[in-house]
Amino acid sequence: MEVKVNKKSKSCTEDELLSLSKEELIDRIKQLEAHNTQLKSIVQKNLQSRDETTNGKAKKKHRPFDFAKCFKRHILLRFYYLGWDYQGFAAQEDSIETIEHHMFAALKKVCLIESRETSNYNRCGRTDKGVSAFHQVISLDVRSKFAPELQLDANNLTNELDYCAMLNRVLPEEIRCLAWMPMVNPAYSARFDCRSRTYRYFFPRGDLNITAMEESARYLVGAHDFRNLCKMDVGNGVVSFVRSIDAISIKPSQRDSERDGSSYDMMYLELQGKAFLWHQVRCIMAVLLLVGQGREKPSVVKDLLDVEQNPCKPQYSMASDVPLNLYDCQFNEKSGESNEEESMGGESDLSDWIYKEEDLRRTISDLQGFWMKHSVKTTMVREMLKTLHGILEDRFAGAPPIRDQSVLLTQGVRSKEYCPLLQRQRCESLENRIEHYAKKRRIEVSVKSNDCSASGSDEPAAEHVRTGTDRNSNVDHGVSGMDN
């Protein structure tokens, strides 16, 4: 008996492809496109199958919920998530491991909404892969027990559907709803009416010079062009990188149990502003870590903010995504109004967050479970480190201590010889990127007529890119609340 093994055909070489006729190449492309479509279908079915299966048991089929018979109300919903094992907040076509996917799956499962498209949905911030949030907020229309004219009655607020408990029963354990707020204005947006966002980036003290980092961070306060301290997203229409940081500070979070000032102390960088650019916080933290390690002078931040002297970003690795947290959000009193307009008075669109003691106690208990698992692991590693530090001191007297905790936060390969930031190879300029994406027709660049010519201004005509968002769009193009 003979057995023939069918070996998989290898990819064609460039010479083999050049030898094919036009008809043969067309057939090959058609085959590849058909195969690609088939693979996409298989992947999508697998994703749906995973999503529709809970604890190994397929979901039961239920009679469709009749939303036409239900009342709706507009709310803000506050929740936290530990994003370390997720692919970011925003839903993606090729993954269900996003916070937004699980949130909408839960909202639909408990019949609070019919679909995302009909829910009048907006999100406060969009965090990237690995990033967490303690105070994420979304606005949307959800099912209500009461007619619109009765929804703000105190008794009805108390007896309303327990939105947080309903969602927490079906959400993954890393995502928990904390509170909800009833809204009067159905146009109030968690995204467009957020006036301030606060991010915290946690890091170990290590051997960092915190004083130098604080000195360097002070240059960041105010409005600046942050093109050298972010990842430029020109392909999505972002061509202005001027943002304002209202406050920035470095504070201790947790002291080491043995002594203050230990390299194992945990610190955090806190930044507050209305809007942040793509990877802005992680780029800022990467530069501040270099300052804290003594590799850069505190004034390097000032140099990077001077885009006339340094129009092209030097190449450097970002800080890790794991310690970043969208920690707090503050909202306008009235929808669509600036802070100055708020001070003029008038009835606020905001009310108090509604918490329930039972839900809050259960959430605290769940979070304590997370703390226990991670704290036990941390304590085990800490005890091992203490033993190894002791061996190093006993066996190799006079050996310098090792304080590499903070060094490992920077991603990428560390070179043996350090090259100062301003001496490194530079990325493409903003103008070159705009030209590149305009040629690819990803963006359309138009030149605004120079209306200042009559006044004798020598200002050049401004370029405008036709992309971006308005209040009716949920598409983010590197705008407010993006991680960072």
Catalytic residue list: 128
Q: Taking Cα atoms as reference points, which of 141, 167, 128, 8 lies closest to residue 70?
A: 141
Give, for 181, the enclosing helix (H) or strand (E). strand 175-182
What are the C-alpha distances in Å from 297 to residues 40, 126, 212, 293? 50, 32, 8, 10
In this structure, are residues 219 and 244 in contact, taking their beta carbons and an 8 Å threshold?
A: no
Task: Report how far residue 65's alpha carbon sits from residue 238's, in angstroms, rounded to the nearest whole number.
Answer: 41
Q: Name every residue whose Cβ is closer than 8 Å to that of residue 130 and which is 6 or more positions away in sequence.
A: 83, 84, 86, 88, 320, 321, 322, 324
Q: Report the greatest alpha carbon distance in the chain.
A: 95
In this structure, are residues 224 and 243 in contact, taking their beta carbons and an 8 Å threshold?
A: yes
Task: Report how far residue 146's alpha carbon sits from residue 70's, in angstroms, rounded to the nearest whole number.
Answer: 9
Provide long-range contacts, Cβ within 8 A and 24+ apart, for 408-417.
409/203, 409/285, 409/289, 409/319, 409/320, 409/323, 410/286, 410/289, 410/290, 410/317, 410/318, 410/319, 410/320, 411/317, 411/318, 411/319, 411/320, 412/317
Cα separation of the two ends of the chain:
64
Q: What is the dihedral of CA 78, 90, 230, 201, to 10 degrees?
A: 40
What are the C-alpha distances in Å from 34 to residues 8, 24, 217? 18, 15, 54
H helices, E strands: number in the chain: 11, 13
